[in-house]
A and B are shown apart, each in its own frame.
Chain A
Amino acid sequence: MNWVWTNFGLIWELTLDHVVLSAPPIIAGLILSLPFGWLANRFRLSRGILLGIAGLLYAIPSLPFLVAVPTLLGTKILNPVNLVVALTVYAVALMVRTTADGFASVEPDVTKSATAIGYSRWWRFWSVELPLAGPVLLAGLRVVSVSTVSLVTIGSIVGVNTLGYFFLNGLQRNFPTEIVVGIVATVLVALVFDAVLVLAGRVLMPWTAVERAPRRGAASIMGSS
C-alpha cells in the first residue's frame, strides 16, 4: 500500500491520461455508428455489407492493428492519435450491429403513426426512432465503454502513456503490486465510465426503467413502455 501513496501523483496522472484516451473512441463510436446502423437496418444488402465489414474489423487483433495504424495514417508510431483511431474503429465495429438492432426494435406501427401525424423523415428519426432505440444503444455503448477502457492499456506497449504503464514497469521490476494497482485503476475507470453512461441514460431517457436495461440486444424493449 505504501507504494500507492508514494506514487499517487503518477497513478493520478496516468489515470487522467487513460480517461482522456478512452472517452473519444466511445463518443465517436456512438456518433459514427448512428448513420451506419441506420443504413444497416434500412436495406438487407447494406446490412450484409456493413455488418460483414464490422465483423472483419472487429476480428483484427488489437496490438497488430495498433502497430499497423501509423502506416495507414502516415503518423509516427508514438503518436497517441493512432490509439484513438484504432479504438474508434473497434467501437464503431461493435456499435453498428447494436445500432441496427436498436433501430429494428422500434415498432413499425410507431414510426408509421409518427409519419401519419405529420413528422418529416428527419424529425421522426431524431424524436421517435432514436429515443426508442436508446435503451439498446445504451446497452451496446456500455459494452463498448468497458472494452475500450481495458484496451487502452495496450497503448503502453507502443509508448503511449496509459495505466498499462504499470503492467510493463511492474513486469520489468518484478513488482506484482504495481500491476495489481494498474488493474484496479483500470477497472475503476471502467466502472466510473459505466456509471456515467447509466446516469446519462436515466437523464436522457427518463421513461425507461434503467435498472432493467436490456443487455442482450433488441428483444422486448417495447414491451415495458
Chain B
Amino acid sequence: MSEILLALGWIANPVNWVGVAGIPNRVGEHLSYSSVTVLIAAVIAMPLGVVLGHTRRGKFWVVPVAGALRALPTLGLVTLLALLLGIGIVPPLIALIVLAIPPVLAGAYSGIESVDRHTVDAARSLGMTEWQVLTRVELPLGLPLVIGGVRSAALQVIATWTIAAILPVGGLGRYIFDGLPVQNYAEMLAGSMLVIVLALVADGVFALVQKGVIPRGVVARQSASSSDGGTRRRLHAD
C-alpha cells in the first residue's frame, strides 16, 4: 500500500506538472489521440452499421465478426504496424482505428436492428420514406445502443493508446514504459492511476450521454430494461 502513497506523491510533485513529460501535457495527448481515433472510426463504421441495421443485412456476420476480432492481440497489431509503416504517430493511429471499428459497427448495427419491427412497419404504413423511417424512428430509438458501441470503442482506444506507448509516442502510457526499464514503480503506478481515472471518467460521460438520448416516451416504459449497455460489455476488449 505504501506504493500508492509514493505514486500519489509522484502525482503531487510540481516537477511532474510542467513540460512535455508533465501530467497536463500527457493527459492532453492521451485525450486528443483517443478522440481522433474514435472520431475517425465512428465516421467510417457508424454509417455502415446504420445502413446494415436498417436493411437488416449482416445479421449473421456483423456481431460475430466483431466478436472474433477480439482474438487479435492489440499489442501485436500495434507493434506489427509500427514495423511495417515506420515511426511516428500514424502507424499506431491506424492500428487503433482498425481496433475501434468493430465495436462501433456492431453497436450501430445492433442499435438500429433492435428497433421493433412492428414500430418500423407502422412508420412505413404511415407513409414515411425510408430516410424518414431511419432518421425519425430507428435512429432515435436505437441511439443508446449506437452510442454504446462508441462507448466501448472509446474505452478500448484509451486502454490501447496506453499500450501503444511501447512506441515513441506520447500519452499517459509514457509513464509506464518510461518507468519500467529504470524500475521507477511510483511513476508507473502514478501513470496507471491517471489512465484508470481517465477511462472511468470517459465511461461515466458516455453513460450519461446514453441515458440522455433515450427518447422521453421510451424512458417511462423502460424501467427494467437492459439497453443501458448490454452490447457494450459484450463487445468491449481490453
A residues whose Cβ falls under 8 Å from a Cβ of B: 44, 54-56, 58-65, 67-68, 70-71, 77, 94, 97-98, 101, 140, 143, 146-147, 149-151, 153-154, 156-158, 163-164, 166-168, 170-171, 174-176, 179-180, 182-183, 186-187, 190-191, 215-217
Contact = CB atoms under 8 A, between A and B. Distances in A.
Given A68-B189, A171-B79, A174-B83, A217 B71 contact: no
B176 A63 contact: yes
A140 B236 CA distance: 13
Q: Which 4 A-B pairs have the closest CB atoms?
A: A61-B159, A64-B192, A183-B76, A59-B203
Given A67-B192, A179-B79, A146 B230 contact: no
Nearest to A155: B75
Interface stretch (B41-49, B62-70, B118-126): B62-70
27 contacts: A55-B203, A56-B203, A58-B236, A59-B203, A60-B196, A60-B199, A62-B163, A64-B162, A67-B176, A67-B189, A67-B192, A68-B196, A143-B67, A143-B70, A146-B70, A149-B71, A150-B72, A157-B75, A158-B180, A167-B73, A167-B79, A167-B80, A175-B83, A179-B80, A182-B73, A183-B73, A217-B230
A71 B3 contact: yes
Given A67-B176, A179-B80, A179-B83, A62 B73 contact: no
B166 A168 contact: yes
A20 B236 CA distance: 24
Contacts of B83: 170-171, 174-176, 179
A150 B70 contact: yes
B159 A44 contact: no
B56 interface: no
Interface of B: 1, 3-4, 63-64, 67-68, 70-77, 79-80, 82-84, 110, 155, 158-159, 162-163, 166-167, 173, 176, 180, 185, 188-189, 191-193, 195-196, 199-200, 203, 224, 226, 229-230, 233-234, 236-238
Contacts of B68: 146
B200 A186 contact: no
A58 B203 CA distance: 10
A21 to B, nearest CB: 13
A150 B77 CA distance: 11
Contacts of A174: 83
Given A55-B233, A174-B83, A186-B71, A61 B188 contact: no
Contact of A187 (B71, B75, B166, B230): B71
Contacts of A187: 71-72
A186 B162 contact: no
B224 A44 contact: yes
Given A68-B193, A150-B73, A176-B83, A63 B236 contact: no
A190 B72 CA distance: 9
Given A61-B159, A71-B1, A171-B79, A176 B233 contact: no
Contacts of A168: 79, 166
B7 to A, nearest CB: 8
B185 A62 contact: no
Contact of B196 (A61, A98, A164, A186): A61
Given A146-B70, A170-B79, A179-B76, 6 more contacts: A63-B163, A68-B196, A71-B3, A150-B72, A186-B73, A187-B71
A215 B67 contact: yes
Nearest to B238: A62
Contacts of A58: 233, 236
A157 B163 contact: yes
B166 A157 contact: yes
Contact of B192 (A55, A63, A101, A170): A63
Contact of B195 (A61, A163, A180, A216): A61
Contacts of B73: 150-151, 153, 163-164, 167, 182-183, 186
A183 B72 contact: yes
Nearest to A94: B233
Contacts of B233: 54-55, 58, 94, 97
A154 B82 CA distance: 17
Nearest to A67: B192
A176 B226 CA distance: 43
B195 A64 contact: yes
